[in-house]
Structure formats: C-alpha cells, structure tokens
Amino acid sequence: MTSGTTARGPAPTREGAAGDLVSRRLASLRAILMQPDSALREKLPEYFLVYYKHLNILRNPARIEHIFQKGREMFEYLEAEGKDVLDLGAGFGIEALLVSIYGARRVLATEIDRDMVAVGAYLARAVDPPLPPEQFESRYGDGIGMELPSGSFDGVMANCVISHVRDLEGFLREANRLLRPGGIFFLSDENNSLYLPARSRRRRGWREMEAEPNGPYFVARRALIGEHFPALAQNQLMEAARATRGLVGNDVLEGTRELLETGAVRRKPEFRYRDPRDGQYPERELNPFWMMRKFTEAGLQPELLPAFFSHGIEVHPRQWIKDALRFFCTRWRSLSVYVWPIMRLRGRKVR
C-alpha cells in the first residue's frame, strides 16, 4: 500500500485554513455551475452549456457534488498534494482545476481546442479567490507534442483521451519521460472493452462515422481522394472512398492508386474506423488488463483502481446500490471493469 492511501482508497488530506480555502473555491465553482443559461452565455461558449447539460451537471447540486468527489479522488490517487501535475487533453479544464483547488502546487492543463482552453482560464480567474497563474495554467496545444522538459511533473493525468490517440505506446512513453522518478500517471477512460453493455452503443457510433454518403470520416476521405484524383468520375470516387475505409493520410492515396491500377486495395487498415486526415480514433475499445501490460512496457508500474461511485448525494435506494458497488469494487478491484464502463489505472514511474 502506498503512502496517502488506505485500505478503502485515497486518504483525506488538507485541514484548517487550507481546507477553508478549498471550501471557498469549491463554493464559488458550484455557484458558477448553478447559474442560469443567460449568465453562463455571457462568459462561456455555447458548447460548454451543451456539453454540461448533456452530462446533467448544470444547476444539479447532486451531479456537481459528484464531479467534486471524483476530482478529489483523482487528486488523491495522483498524490498531488504540493506537487506539479500535467493534464493531457484537459477539455474544459474542470478536473485539472479541481486538482489545483485541492492542493497541487502547480497544474498545467493542455488542450487542442482554443475555446476549451479559454474556459479553463476563465474558471481559474472566476473562482474565489482566483487561482494564480503560477498555480494553474490552461495552455493551448498538444501536451505530448510540446516537448516539455523531462522530469517536469510529479503527476500526469489523462481523462477520456487515450482511446482517441493515434500512438498509444508513444503516448505512454512520453508520459513516463515527463514524470519525475516515483511520479504517477493517472488514466481514466470510458471505453473499457470489458463492460459489455456499452459495446453496442460504441460500435453504432463507429458505423455512423463511416455511414454513406454523409458520415464525417467517409466525407473527409472522399474529399481527400477527390483533391488528389480530380479526374475520377463520381462512381469511381465513391468506390475509392469505400475501398480505402480505415486507411489514413498517404495510405488513402496509395490505396486509391492500387485500386485504379489493379482493381483492389492490398493494404489493410489497422482499424476500420479512423479519421482519414490524422488517424485519430473515434472511441477505441481498450482492455484494462492489456493496458496494464502497456504500462509495464512503458516503464510504469501498473495498478488497477476501483470504479468511482459518489457517496452521500443520491436518494435511496439508488445510493444503496452505489454503496454496495463501491464496497465490492474496492475489495475486488478487477470486478470494477465488468460492472462499470469507466476504467481507471495508475502507473508509478520506476525510480
């Protein structure tokens, strides 16, 4: 058992004046999320409202508390008290913001969507008291591609990111490089392949990305082929877009040449549902135990974490169900990946 944890999971930390500061900032963040749409639209993009309404968080005290509890557990599993933490693919930055509020020394939240970066920066200024720039920074860009100095962070976190990355092994190696000896990589992702109830929904989403004629990936691939082979008739263009499904970038063009010259595409895709422009996965299914092997290969000592279930916020008997699931998943962690869609892992960099 590592320091900062108990048999039941992460142990609580901050007390006294520091705890009062945490409570003030959480109260102010809660007040922001409780505002009416009109007030939120004055400061935040429409996408923020759409996304958090979809998650049923805005003006929902129980769901807001759920997010706060989840952020607290993340902070504790990262052992982030007084530490430097990097969030890769921070989205709107709320998880990274909570890790900062709970007591990390410095949090760098990276994201490739400028509107999301702006939201993270706004929230850091809007909490009371504001988080100073040296404690929280929302930065535009791909954290993996920023070439940050080796050993810059005590913790690296990735929430709902890794199932979309093109080079999973490279992503883990870079996380290892960025960590100081003994540092922790925390991973949470909704695309747990062992949770069977979500499989049909996920695969339906894959098919929608490739649906003819207007699926986003099909349209993008057809446009790419049309740009480089302008002489193709419409029926040839459609056939080439079908035959190169799953290929990426130059492989789409080479596959089209093969089709025109031989009548078939010899090269086979690694996965049939990928963005043809950059190879990004829509929602790649990941086996948690396979992921643990990948952690080991990347120099990270893997640990399967129990599923997260909020406590004390639901109306009975729903809370009883959550409490029972928490009890069993905490004691038999492997159970988590079969009863809950979100897998959570952490890996400690070998000293």
Mean pLDDT of each 10-residue bin along the chain, 351 residues long: 45 68 97 98 96 95 96 98 98 98 98 96 98 98 92 97 92 97 97 94 93 96 97 97 96 97 94 92 93 98 97 85 95 97 96 78
CATH 3.40.50.150 in the chain, residue ranges: 14-193+286-349
The amino acid sitting at 273 is Y
The owner of tokens 């025109």 is 260
DSSP string, 288-305: HHHHHHHHHHTTEEEEEP
Provide the 10 A C-beta neighbour count for residue 15: 9
> Is CATH 3.40.50.150 what the domain over 14-193+286-349 is classified as, yes or no?
yes
pLDDT of residue 14: 56
Whether 169 and 162 have beta carbons less than 8 Å apart is answered as: no
pLDDT of residue 156: 98
Using alpha carbons, select from 105, 89, 97 the residue that is nearest to residue 145.
Answer: 89
Whether 52 and 58 have beta carbons less than 8 Å apart is answered as: yes
pLDDT in tens, 165-184: 889 999 999 999 999 999 99
pLDDT of residue 7: 39
